Structure 1
Amino acid sequence: MEFLRNLGDIGLFIHAMIDAIIFPIPALFSQLSLSVLTPERAIWLATIGFIGCILGTPIGYGIGKASGHLVLSKMLKKKWYDSATGLFKKHGEAAILVGAFTPIPFKIFTILSGCMNYPLWKLLSYAAIGRAFKFYTVGVLFYIYGRAAEHMVDHVLTTILLVAGALIGGIWFTIHTVKKRKKKQAEQLHTPTGTEAADQDQVSAGGN
Structure 2
Amino acid sequence: MKRIINYPLKTMRKIYDWTVGWAHKKSSNYALFIIAFMESSFFPVPPDVLLIPLVVAHPKSWWKKALICTTGSVAGAFLGYLIGYLFFETVGAAIVNFYDLRHVVESVGKMYSDNALLAIFGGAFTPIPYKVFTLAAGFFQISLFALFAGSVLGRGGRFFIVAGAIRIFGKQIQYVIEKYFNILSLVFFVLLVAGFVAVKYLL
TM range (shorter): 0.5 to 0.7
Contact 1:64 1:111 (8 Å CA) reproduced: yes
Partner of 1:45: 65
Alignment CA distance shift 1:110-1:78 (3 Å): closer
Alignment CA distance shift 1:33-1:92 (3 Å): same
Could you tell me which of 10, 27, 31 is aligned with 1:11?
31
* 5+ long unaligned stretches in structure 1: 155-208
SS at match of 1:21: coil
Partner of 2:142: 118
TM-score by length of 2: 0.67
1:58-207 mapped onto 2 (5 Å cutoff): 58-69=78-89, 70=93, 71-149=95-173
Partner of 1:163: none
Give how far 1:118 is off: 0.8
Could you tell me which of 55, 60, 77 is aligned with 1:35?
55
Q: Distance in 1 between matches of 2:121 and 2:46?
A: 16
User: Deviation per CA, 1:106-160, whole angstroms, max 9, x where unpaired?
Assistant: 22111110000111122111111111111110121122111423659x9xxxxxx
Alignment CA distance shift 1:147-1:68 (3 Å): farther
Alignment CA distance shift 1:76-1:101 (3 Å): same
Q: Distance in 1 between matches of 2:71 and 2:102?
A: 32
Find the structure with the greater CA-based Rg.
Answer: 1
Letter of the 1:122 counterpart: A
Q: Distance in 1 between matches of 2:125 and 2:65?
A: 18
Percent identity reads 26
Give how far 1:47 is off: 1.0
Give how far 1:17 is off: 1.0
Give how far 1:59 is off: 1.1
Q: Which one has more relative contact order, counting CA pairs under 8 Å at least 6 apart?
A: 2
Q: Distance in 2 between matches of 1:28 and 1:76?
A: 23
Q: Distance in 2 between matches of 1:78 and 1:119?
A: 22
